[in-house]
Structure 1
Amino acid sequence: MFFKEYHSTEDPEWSLLWDLYCKSFPAHEKRSLDDHRKAMDDPAFTCTGIWDEDGFVGLLFYWTYTDGHYIEFFAISETRRGMQCGSRCLQAFLEKHPVVILEIEMPVTNIARRRKRFYERLGFVASHQEHLHPAYTKDAAPYHLMILRYPKACSDAQYGTFYNFFSTRVMRYSEKFDSTL
């Protein structure tokens, strides 16, 4: 399994990543293609496709900030789910990135609880901070997500560092970014 970086929407195979991205996340949780192109020019942002000897496995889009890495989007191709590809991808990522934050839906549905257990099996720990994620689109409301961090939960100071980066850098590439903040 290997991670291939993409720096432009014109890169070969980019359409496989974008199609999976569009299918995997609801509209309010993803940025427009135009905003995504702008984010791809940010040196802190990395778009990777995940591949193995059998072909395309999935995508992992992440940000590098002072305290570690933030996985913004992670998805496995429908044809590769249930084969432990997701676990192997994240284990490989964690070997090279020792401090990682990600967000998940609040664990109120069966699938959300399964998703939380999946990340916990890999060593992620839920953090206690309330996290309100702004929608990426103008017409959608913010939504609550749970913060998970590897290898330990976030302290308040660590969450503050992350949230400052998240709100001023990551969300810069959304329809809702307010540059006056």
Structure 2
Amino acid sequence: MLTFLQEEQFDDFYQLIEESFPLDEYRPYQTQRALLSHPHYQIHTYEKDYELAAIFATWEGPDFIFIEHFAVKASFRDGGLGSKLLQAFLKQHTKPIVLEIETPEGEIEKRRANFYERNGMILSQWGYNQPALAKGQSAVPIVLMSYPKPLQEQDYQSFKQWVFKHVYTSD
């Protein structure tokens, strides 16, 4: 079902990121492309009718998988594909899963949180400001969600320390 991104698919992947996320939530093209060689970073893809339909961009930490980006192409939405792929992804991993969402205050953010909750993820009380990913971008206030269990403070502290060291670094 899910396969790993082939380098020749990167432009399609990046286009889907641009269409699916606000500018402050993804890196510039060259910075994002450079992550392909990072040992903790992977991009999982789903193709339908020979077209890139969905992506999961993940980071593997020592005790968890961090979903940095999950997106379904607009033309493939509203048919249950996102739920099907997310549930399959969650079940295929033995490590706990963590993801960030924007604080669910507006209508779109609440719908996003509800989507993840319907699919088994648990909204936590823990969050932080995702640092700006590039010059000219802004920090984003986020809250964490987890699967299969609620995030405890110790898990949160461990995750936050790891993600700021490995994901939100300028290296």
Structure 1 distance, partners of 2:101, 2:64, is 18
Local SS of the residue matching 2:2? strand
Q: How far has the Cα of 1:30 moved from its partner? A: 0.5
- d(CA) in 1 for partners of 2:160 and 2:138? 18
Q: Report the Cα offset of residue 53 of structure 1.
A: 5.3
Partner of 1:132: 129
In the TM superposition, 1:140-155 aligns within 5 A as: 140-155=137-152
Using structure 2 for the length normalisation, give the TM-score. Answer: 0.92
Residue of structure 2 in register with 1:57 after alignment: 53
Q: Is the 2:24–2:140 Cα contact (8 Å) retained in structure 1?
A: no
Q: Structure 1, unaligned stretches of length 5 or more?
A: none
Measure the CA separation in 2 of the matches of 1:103 and 1:4: 23
Paired residues of 1:57 and 1:85 also in contact (CA < 8 A): no
Deviates more, 1:75-84 or 1:29-38: 29-38
Cα displacement (A) at 1:106: 1.1
Are 1:104 and 1:145, in contact at CA under 8 Å, matched by a contact in 2?
A: yes
Distance, in Å, in 2 between the alignment partners of 1:15 and 1:134 is 25
Q: State how far apart, in whole Å, the 2-side matches of 1:139 and 1:54 are.
A: 36
The 1-side partners of 2:126 and 2:46 are apart by: 31
Equivalent in 166, 171, 174 of residue 163 of structure 2: 166
Q: Map residues 98-137 of structure 1 onto 2, 5 A cutoff.
A: 98=94, 99-137=96-134
1:81-139 Cα deviation digits (max 9, x unpaired)? 00111001111101111410001111111111111111001111111123211121222
Of 31, 36, 43, 1:40 maps to 36
1:32, 1:143 → 2: CA distance? Answer: 16
Cα-to-partner distance string for 1:7-51 (whole Å, 9 max, x where unaligned)? 6xxx23332211111111111111112211221111110012212
- Superposition TM-score, scaled by structure 1 size: 0.87
Would the aligned equivalents of 1:6 and 1:48 in 2 still touch at CA under 8 Å? yes
**Higher relative contact order (CA closer than 8 Å, sequence separation 6+):** 1
Percent identity between matched residues is 27
1:141 Cα deviation from its structure 2 partner: 2.8
For the residues of structure 2 that align with 1:131 and 1:66, how far apart are their CA atoms? 20
1:18 maps to which residue? 14
Q: What is the distance in 2 between the residues matched to 1:142 and 1:15?
A: 25
Structure-2 residue corresponding to 1:5: 4
